[in-house]
Amino acid sequence: MEPKYKISLFDSHYVREPQQVEVSLRNLAKALMMPSKPFPVREKKSLPLWSPTIFAGNRSGANAIEISCLVFDLDDGTDWGWRLGWDEYHYIAHTSFSHSEEVHKWRIILPLEEPVIATDWKRASQAAKELWDKVVGEGEPDSSALTDCARMYYRFATPARGDNHLQAAKAHKGSGFLRLDYSHIPKEEKKPRYHRWVSRKPGSKVGIEALFHNPEFRMGIASKVGASINGNVARDILCPQCGKREVYFSIDPSLPHAVLWPHCNRANKCQWWGRLEDLI
């Protein structure tokens, strides 16, 4: 059975909501090699884009699920000789919009034998750079593009320039698909911003610091001040400084992106922030 690849499509650079599609290798190659516009293009930002990542919602690293293709952005002028290192694998390649005779720029897409889950992409991208250095041994792929699990790429197009005859696209059939092995790279231990509060034995005293980080205590404060609760955030709290119901804080400060101290949302006009007890 011919493998299928899940990718995301975007009509423009400003679109955040992806259109998810599943395509065969043949159709993937066809879509990425054919000019995305049937005429020469003046501005790159007018082009549609694609991503090898599928998302649970808008395009963001937090919403990334899995990545189906390894993509190298090679913008440093390395010549066409890089292809010899990837002869073993199926790949699709095309020149970038600003490719020129003086500075060669390529985008190399290697469909993966198995997709990589987004939470492993940091390790996988490190293994990909190691593999590049091993099989190619020259050139420096864009590291910011390589490590970004939510990256999207402009589709191939013919620029409205006198040197547009230099643009090229190629599909190579190797002996198989790349299996990106990153098992040798240790997992990174993530430490929480705050240690979750744990109740002590009945009757024992609780320190002020522990109490301040206790979600139950913080929820009690939110209830007393008439806050509306939206997920992990207490909102619509009366600001002690400007008198507007614009103050917010997080119920559980140990969760990612939590707001520990109460803040007034009127940042440019009020700029108040303070302690929980200031709200009572």
Q: What number is the average pLDDT over the span 4-22?
A: 94
How wide is the angle at C-alpha 31 spanned by C-alphas 25 and 37, nearest 5°? 175
Task: Quickly state the pLDDT bin for 253 (edges 50, 70, 90).
Answer: confident
Q: Are 19 and 48 in contact (CB under 8 A)?
A: no
Most confident of 72-81, 84-93, 189-198, 261-270: 84-93
- Mean per-residue pLDDT of the chain: 88
Closest CA to 147 of 172, 130, 166, 128: 128
Helices and strands (H, E) in the chain, number of each type: 5, 13
Q: What number is the average pLDDT over the span 220-228?
A: 90
Give the integer Cα–Cα distance in Å for 219 and 14: 38
Sequence letter at residue 60: S
Higher pLDDT: 52 or 212? It is 52
Per-residue pLDDT tens over the stretch 182-223: 999 998 776 555 555 555 555 554 566 667 788 888 998 999
Per-residue pLDDT tens over the stretch 141-182: 999 999 999 999 999 999 999 999 999 999 999 999 999 999
Task: Quickly state the pLDDT bin for 276 (edges 50, 70, 90).
Answer: confident
What pLDDT does 201 receive? 53
Domain boundaries along the sequence of the chain: 4-172, 208-279
Q: What number is the average pLDDT over the span 228-242?
A: 88
